Structure 1
Amino acid sequence: MNSQIALFLAQDGLINGAVYALLAIAILLVFAVTRVIFVPQGEFVAFSALTMASLQSGKTPGTVWLLLLLSAISMTMEVWVGLRDRNLNRAIRGLFFYGALPVVLTAAIVWLTPLGMPMVIRGLATFAIIVPLGPLLYRVAFQRVAQASGLVLFIVSMAAHLALAAVGLIIFGPEGSRTMPFSESSWKLGPIQVTGQSVWVVGASAAAIAVLFWFFNRTFRGKALKATAVNRVGAQLMGISPTGAGTLAFALAAAVGALSGLLIAPITTIFYDTGFLIGLKGFVAAIVGGLLSYPLAAAGALLVGMLESYSSFWASPYKEVIVFTLILPVLVWRSFRSLHIDEDNE
């Protein structure tokens, strides 16, 4: 390996690590707020990329029908609870937020897609489809079992992943897709070639992390999420709704997944099940951070990206094994440094 190859691999590792950092932060956020190890995080990435590819080809993305399905189930649940509790306001809110808004959004996208949209509008449309899937998934799958044990929540999370993967195969098919890059520029930086898309990936990831940092530290809702993550019972006693916190955490996770999908779609072919491996690498980075520290999770993501990149050069058939083996020494090290705390005594 010469210096040019080493720099090229470092650039590739930095690009991958930037995406893994976003996913690690999202997984950590959802776990801290809801105790859910969010296995379907990668599905948001794959669905976002494939939705953008469908819009660029002038086809109505299948995710709008998934959006309508989850909205219909959520609306039925909300209206039923509202009528059962004789809470007319809740039933009306359920009809509006889970019924009318998704129908209007779907109609707009179905109407605009054949007309052709600029790149920015396609990206915004992708966000508009993918981000609501997070809160809807929380309402359908997790809200009613929010107080269950961690094992039950993990089983529900795995079931949600398998269900979404099956839906992805149905609506997108087994073929992979790749989108147009945001920038086709390139620059010569010493011995390596830097593409505009790689700058977009690193820059957008850094900007998103900065926005999340500002949100958690400067806004009321962000501080409420931090309080819920630190002490769920104490936050509830202070008037912070655990349901609202969980809904917001899932919405942010979906937004992060949508952004990640848009960033990586032009540089790699995405299939309906690609998101699982990508999300799993984000989970490894979150484990490096102990599922507690956002900066450590981001640093772990860069480590995962670099390890994957250099492993692909030295031992390409085993690069996935090498990356996932990283979790073992981290878990062993943390097992010697951490005291066991029963979940009921948190």
Structure 2
Amino acid sequence: MDLSIASILLIDGLSNGAIYALLGLATVLLFTITRVIFIPQGEFVAFGALTLALLQNRQVPGTVWLLLMLAGLAALQELVNGLRAKRGMATTAKAMARVLAYPVAISAFTFYAAPLGLPLLVQALLSIALVVPLGSLVYRLAYESIADASVLVLLIVSVGVHFILAGLGLIFFGAEGFRTPPFWDERFNVGPVLLSGQAVITMLATVALMGLMWLFFERTLRGRALRATAVNRLGARLMGISTVNAGRLSFTLAAFIGALSGLLIGPTTTVFYDSGFLIGLKGFVAAVFAGLASYPQAAIGALAIGILEAFGAFWSSAFKEVIVFTAILPFLLWRSLRDPHHEEH
């Protein structure tokens, strides 16, 4: 291996690591606020990439039907809750309308816009608009009623949600894989390295999103409410902060991060309905490096994973996944010895 090959592998590793950093941040965000180890984070990645690919083909993406199905179930849940609480029909109907309004509106617009062949950037924004509400709906249907359960119970539910979303992905998107066009089809010579415009877009988007997340948590009222919920869930509730709204908002942010990651990774690899699992798992490994608590450490761990994966693929492509996931074992052992387990009640 000479310097030029090492430089190419380093750039490739940093580009992939930037994606894993976003997913690692989403994993830490959800765990600190809701205590959910969200295994299906990668499904948002796959849905984002596949939605854009189908819009590129001027087809109505399966995301529309998935969104409408989940929204219908959430509306039905509101109806059941209203009947149990003996709320008035007018109040229950308003709650159901709030759940259905955005999914129905964005789905109707997609039916109109999909055959038009809109510009790539508009299709990307539409893809994000379709995937983002899935986060809040998943939280409503799977986690909201058991928000105070133990971490183990929430993890088991996450595994079940992963299998359900993967199965629905196969139904609504099919088994065929897709690759999306790059957002910037340029090449730059940086010394011996040929740097693609898509890699530049990926790294800039990651840095920009991290900066926006910092501003959101530091400068906005809702961001500070999420931070308070992450620090002390019971204390935040006693101070009037709705942990239900915090959970919905955190899952919405996670869906946004996942959808954006899918758009960024789509031009570099063929994405199938189940491709998100391995991608999301690498983000989870980065989050474990950070002890599921530190955003900067998760980002650093993700970049290390991307670089390790790139060099591992060069030396032994058949074992690159083994190399990446084996790297987590020493950190798990170190974390276990450093922070002894206390039984949760």
TM-score, L = length of structure 2: 0.97
Could you tell me which amino acid in structure 2 is paired with residue 78 of structure 1? E
Kept in 2: contact 1:174–1:271 (CA 8 A): yes
Deviation readout 1:234-254 (Å, 9 max, x if unpaired): 111111111111001100000
Could you tell me which amino acid in structure 2 is paired with residue 293 of structure 1? S
Counterparts of 1:103 and 1:288, CA distance in 2? 40
- Structure-2 residue corresponding to 1:25: 25
Deviation readout 1:55-96 (Å, 9 max, x if unpaired): 010000001000000000001111221243243475244222
Q: CA deviation at 1:174?
A: 1.2
Counterparts of 2:85 and 2:337, CA distance in 1? 49
Counterparts of 1:63 and 1:55, CA distance in 2? 11
Kept in 2: contact 1:79–1:90 (CA 8 A): no
Counterparts of 1:203 and 1:99, CA distance in 2? 35
2:19 aligned with 1:8: no
Counterparts of 2:226 and 2:104, CA distance in 1? 30
Kept in 2: contact 1:284–1:324 (CA 8 A): yes
- Structure-1 residue corresponding to 2:229: 228
SS, match of residue 187 in structure 1:
strand
Could you tell me which amino acid in structure 1 is paired with residue 64 of structure 2? V
Q: CA deviation at 1:142?
A: 0.8
- Structure-2 residue corresponding to 1:77: 77
Deviation readout 1:209-261 (Å, 9 max, x if unpaired): 11111111111111111111111111111111111110011000000001000
- Structure-1 residue corresponding to 2:158: 157
Q: CA deviation at 1:189?
A: 0.7
2:319 aligned with 1:318: yes
Could you tell me which amino acid in structure 1 is paired with residue 297 of structure 2? L
2:44 aligned with 1:53: no
SS, match of residue 318 in structure 1:
helix
Kept in 2: contact 1:131–1:255 (CA 8 A): yes
Across the two proteins, how many residue pairs are aligned to each other? 344
SS, match of residue 4 in structure 1:
helix
Could you tell me which amino acid in structure 1 is paired with residue 339 of structure 2? S
Unaligned runs of 5+ in 2: none
Counting only pairs closer than 5 Å after superposition, residues 111-126 of structure 1 correspond to structure 2 as 111-126=112-127
Could you tell me which amino acid in structure 2 is paired with residue 295 of structure 1? P
Counterparts of 1:261 and 1:287, CA distance in 2? 21
- Structure-1 residue corresponding to 2:296: 295
Counterparts of 1:249 and 1:93, CA distance in 2? 24
2:130 aligned with 1:137: no
- Structure-2 residue corresponding to 1:343: 344
- Structure-2 residue corresponding to 1:201: 202
SS, match of residue 301 in structure 2:
helix
Question: What RMSD, in angstroms, separates the aligned Cα atoms of the two structures?
Answer: 1.2
Greater shift in the superposed pair: 124-133 or 86-95 = 86-95
Unaligned runs of 5+ in 1: none
Q: CA deviation at 1:283?
A: 0.3
- Structure-2 residue corresponding to 1:189: 190
TM-score, L = length of structure 1: 0.97
- Structure-2 residue corresponding to 1:102: 103
Percent identity of paired positions between Structure 1 and Structure 2: 53
Greater shift in the superposed pair: 322-331 or 100-109 = 100-109
Could you tell me which amino acid in structure 1 is paired with residue 55 of structure 2? L
Q: In structure 2, do the counterparts of structure 1 residues 90 and 287 end up closer, same or farther at CA, with 3 Å as the change threshold?
A: farther
Counterparts of 1:4 and 1:275, CA distance in 2? 31
Counterparts of 1:68 and 1:94, CA distance in 2? 16
Counterparts of 1:151 and 1:119, CA distance in 2? 42
Greater shift in the superposed pair: 249-258 or 232-241 = 232-241
2:38 aligned with 1:38: yes
Could you tell me which amino acid in structure 1 is paired with residue 82 of structure 2? G
